[in-house]
Structure 1
Amino acid sequence: MSGVGPIRQDWEPVMIRKKAPTAAARKDEKAVNAARRAGAEVETVKKYNAGSNKPASSTTSLNTKKLDEDTENLAHEHVPTELKKAIMKARMEKKLSQAQLAQMINEKPQVIQEYESGKAIPNQQIISKLERALDAKLRRKK
């Protein structure tokens, strides 16, 4: 093998990034770094569920707030007996199954089943959808 020199490999490191940071993120990062260099105290907060597409449920947060404030009775509010009976009666009068009613109000059949069994946490938006779909007044004034 004459004329062949030693084998040489010329490897250079390659950096792979998923996504370049946005202009706003770079600007924020520069401001934080400048503050740190100046000796200022910097507090950063991790935003949980910031990238998720789920809306924050207002009902859940209200019930959570009630539970936090309540010191004696630590239980979520459930569907009152009168409401669950009214839903069942109105649904039977319309000759609808739970699945058909759920489809009419764009909810899962499990939601209707939970309301009729009294296990659901009352949500005024769902109750108003049920009232419209069943053409019945389900809520009573206390």
Structure 2
Amino acid sequence: MAGNGPITQDWEPIVIRKKAPTAAAKKDEKAVNAARRSGAEIETVKKSTAGTNKAASSSTSLNTRKLDEETENLTHERVSSELKKNIMQARLGKKLTQAQLGQLINEKPQVIQEYESGKALPNQQIITKLERVLGVKLRGKK
């Protein structure tokens, strides 16, 4: 296109129209009616779940029923009472507050409080830090 002169732009609007979707459906309906009039044998099938999510929801209802029937009570493992006592005794032996101990292991005081109350989920890294700072073996055989 080089050398053909300046490029001009055509600013005329272009309108693109789609055919109405009802036209195709009417043709099919007309063909079926014509076939009925001629006496030809016609088999029509109505799809009951066409255009819906009924098939997908029926499988989830089975899963929810299984969950409802599940009787096993699943909970996370919490800090053992022995570990709670060991942490508290070692901290008090070093004359540290929960906040001071938390600062020494670079954790929030709330973490120490959760461990001592037994609400925390046991984390091996935190327990290792506690053992190092307190100088006590908290887990396993003493």
Higher helix share: 2
Q: Could you tell me the TM-score, scaled by structure 2's length?
A: 0.49
Structure with greater Cα Rg: 2
TM-score normalised by L of structure 1: 0.49
